[in-house]
A and B are shown apart, each in its own frame.
Chain A
Amino acid sequence: GAGVSQSPSNKVTEKGKDVELRCDPISGHTALYWYRQSLGQGLEFLIYFQGNSAPDKSGLPSDRFSAERTGGSVSTLTIQRTQQEDSAVYLCASSLGQGAGNTEAFFGQGTRLTVV
């Protein structure tokens, strides 16, 4: 596609429910990131996929959060038993990969998650 696509754009869920957020990266991009942006906060790193390497999960805030990337393309971020503090904009980005010139990250428009 022309850019990074995220769905849904908005999601309202009840506390305790599970949610799945989807990211379609730019075709051919081997690196994929998930970040979280809370009101008045910076970008909090969640997880990073690079090719076939084991993902860097060091930013996931709890075991309620998980992500997978199927076939090196589409990624799904799953939040189980959502809490109100999970409310934020979840951003996905992709890049060509490693090495100079390949590191520019292209961002999607984000999914605004509201837990009520």
Chain B
Amino acid sequence: AQSVTQLDSQVPVFEEAPVELRCNYSSSVSVYLFWYVQYPNQGLQLLLKYLSGSTLVESINGFEAEFNKSQTSFHLRKPSVHISDTAEYFCAVSETSGSRLTFGEGTQLTVNP
């Protein structure tokens, strides 16, 4: 069965600083990988996903994540964060054979002025 570990529960940063939110997964088979974001008082929404092909995927608001199969990681990065990026970020995995979507514990990103 697959599992996801998000190594940091809280990440405080200053505006315009770079950020990396770490995600490692465990699975014995091929996987799809996702990052979801939950803004304050809003529902979960997909930020970006890796299905196949290029290991570097990007979102429309400047985030990117790189699938590293050898390290079983899918870290999320942004070179310069905005206050509006303050949210909880969840990494998720599902096996390509068609299993359930398993989430990590979440990382609360707080961007301070």
**A-to-B contact residues, CB < 8 Å:** 33, 35, 41-43, 45, 48, 50, 56, 91, 93, 95, 97-101, 103-110
Write out the residue numbers on chain A whose beta carbons fall within 8 Å of the beta carbon of B106.
Answer: 42-43
Across-interface contacts of B99 in A (CB, < 8 A) = 56
* Bound form: Cα–Cα A104–B45 in Å: 10
Inter-subunit contact B94/A103 (CB<8 Å):
yes
A114 and B93 alpha carbons, distance in the complex (Å): 29
Q: How far is the CA of A56 from the CA of B102 in the complex (A)?
A: 12
List, sorted by A's number, 12 A–B pairs whose CB atoms are closer than 8 Å.
A42-B105, A42-B106, A95-B101, A97-B98, A98-B97, A101-B51, A103-B51, A103-B101, A104-B34, A104-B49, A105-B46, A107-B43
The 9 closest A-B pairs by CB, nearest first: A98-B98, A42-B105, A48-B100, A43-B103, A107-B44, A100-B51, A42-B106, A109-B43, A107-B43
Binding site for A on B (CB under 8 A): 6, 32, 34, 36, 43-46, 49, 51-52, 90, 94, 96-106
Q: Which residue of A lies closest to B42 (CB)?
A: A109
The secondary-structure label for the interface of chain B is loop
Instruction: Give the A-B pair count, Cβ closer than 8 A.
Output: 57
Contacts of A107 in B (CB 8 A): 36, 43-45
Closest to A46 in B: B100
A100 to chain B: which residues have CB within 8 Å? 32, 51-52, 96
By a CB distance below 8 angstroms, the chain B residues around A98 are 97-98
B46 contact set on A, CB distance < 8 A = 104-106
- Measured in the bound complex, the distance between the Cα atoms of B105 and A12 in whole Å is 26
B43 and A108 within 8 A (CB): yes
Residue of B nearest to A98 (CB): B98
Q: Which residues of B contact A41 (CB under 8 A)?
A: 105
Beyond the given A56-B100, A106-B46, please list 17 additional residue pairs across the A-B interface where CB-CB is below 8 A: A35-B103, A42-B105, A42-B106, A48-B100, A50-B98, A56-B99, A91-B43, A93-B44, A97-B98, A98-B97, A98-B98, A103-B32, A103-B49, A103-B101, A104-B46, A107-B36, A109-B43
